[in-house]
Amino acid sequence: MPYKIVFMGTPKFSVPVLDALVKSSYKISYVYTQPPKKSNRGQKLNISPIQEYAEKLKLNIRSPKSLNIDEELKFFKAIDPDIVIIVAYGQLIPKKFLDIPKKGFVNIHASLLPRWRGAAPIQRAIMNLDKETGISIMKITEKLDTGPVMKQIKLNIDETFTAGEVSDNLSHLSAKNILEVLENIFKDKSKFIQQNHELATYANKIKKDESKINWNENAKNILAKINGLNPNPGAWFMYKDLRYKIWKASIIEKKDLPGTVLDNNFTISCKDRSIKIIEIQKEGKNKLLLKEFLLGMNFRVGDLVK
């Protein structure tokens, strides 16, 4: 009799793992994902990448606003899953659900736990100038990201990597390993080791005011913020009452007062060196490579940005 697997995930990060499961011999009983959200402009409802993928393959989909209601608990008990795989689902699992699957809830978390528990592990690792990150395959317990870990896979972080690039790499690492993980769990060969909670750090959700660039910081920290907040929400500064997001940049050995425009390439000085812009976006406009951006940009060398 085939195992009954429930998959829970929402963003693009989750799709490769679900794809690997679908293409295997395992059967997905249900796919849980977050309900459609209204777009920022207008009332259009946008379904999650997981729902889009699941609909194409005609998988059973469930997208409740909350699991913490009796109807959802009853429905979940009726599924009677052998195991639940979670990849960035976006909801805490209520305690009442945890003991229902025979092999429990197994979560893929995008950090080397206990480092960077929480909502933004990839962004925090890059912004903190960490040299490595990875994935942790763990059991879900009542408290957030505190469960025992079965397997960790490391990934080096180059200073040029964006959060989007690291996310893609970790997502595919997860997909590459999920079938071996399941096989070991079903054969009772897996060992889950408790985390050292004293070493825990927390990857809190990115706040809006964090994404503003502080030109009094070192260039390395500013570049880490630019990379860590790409593709969302983007690191920005103000110039002539307009917001500009820097999407790609590098560091060069120039220096003046922090925030000073140093040359005709709109290079901006930091505390120690300078940020050379590669890709930028003016408020209300599209992203542009620097060469295209400069064609319509009216500025003077020596101007200050904030």
pLDDT tens figures, 47-56: 999 999 999 9
Torsions phi, psi for 305 (to 5 deg) = -105, 160
Domain covering 208-295, topology? Methionyl-tRNA Fmet Formyltransferase; Chain A, domain 2 (3.10.25)
In 3-state terms, what secondary structure has residue 220?
helix
Kindly tell me the burial class for residue 215, based on how many C-beta atoms sit within 10 Å of its own C-beta (0-12, 13-18, 19 or more). buried
- How many other CB atoms are there within 10 angstroms of residue 114's CB atom? 19
Least confident range of 30-39, 128-137, 277-286: 30-39
**pLDDT on residue 39:** 74
**Phi and psi based region of residue 259 (left: phi greater than 0; alpha: psi -120 to 50; beta: remaining):** left
List pLDDT tens digits, range 189-222: 999 999 999 999 999 999 989 999 999 999 999 9
Q: Is there a cis peptide before residue 114, judged by omega within 30 degrees of 0?
A: yes
Provide the pairing of β-strand 287-289 with 274-282. Answer: antiparallel
Give residues with Cβ within 8 angstroms of 258, minimum separation 6.
215, 216, 269, 270, 271
Q: How far apart are CA 54 and CA 33, in angstroms?
A: 10
Q: Is the pLDDT of residue 29 over 90?
A: yes
Q: Is the pLDDT of residue 104 over 90?
A: yes
- How many other CB atoms are there within 10 angstroms of residue 211's CB atom? 18
CB 282 within 8 A of CB 229: no
Confidence class of residue 44 from pLDDT cuts 50, 70 and 90?
A: confident
Domain covering 4-199 in this structure, CATH number: 3.40.50.170
**pLDDT on residue 126:** 98
Note the pTM of the prediction, 2 decimals.
Answer: 0.95
CB 181 within 8 A of CB 139: no
Helices (DSSP H) in 99-198: which residue ranges?
121-127, 163-186
Q: Is the pLDDT of residue 42 over 90?
A: no
Q: How far apart are CA 218 and CA 166, in angstroms?
A: 23
Confidence class of residue 41 from pLDDT cuts 50, 70 and 90?
A: low
Q: How far apart are CA 261 and CA 290, in angstroms?
A: 14
**pLDDT on residue 296:** 86
Confidence class of residue 1 from pLDDT cuts 50, 70 and 90?
A: low
What are 128's two structure tokens? 């903190």
What are 202's two structure tokens? 């927390």
Confidence class of residue 177 from pLDDT cuts 50, 70 and 90?
A: very high
CB 288 within 8 A of CB 280: yes
Average pLDDT over residues 8-33: 97
Identity (one letter) of the amino acid at 81?
P
Confidence class of residue 172 from pLDDT cuts 50, 70 and 90?
A: very high
* Segments making up each domain of the chain, as ranges: 4-199, 208-295
Average pLDDT over residues 7-20: 98
**pLDDT on residue 169:** 98
Does an H or E element contain 101, and which? none
Residue among 199, 46, 24, 56 at smallest CA distance from 114: 199
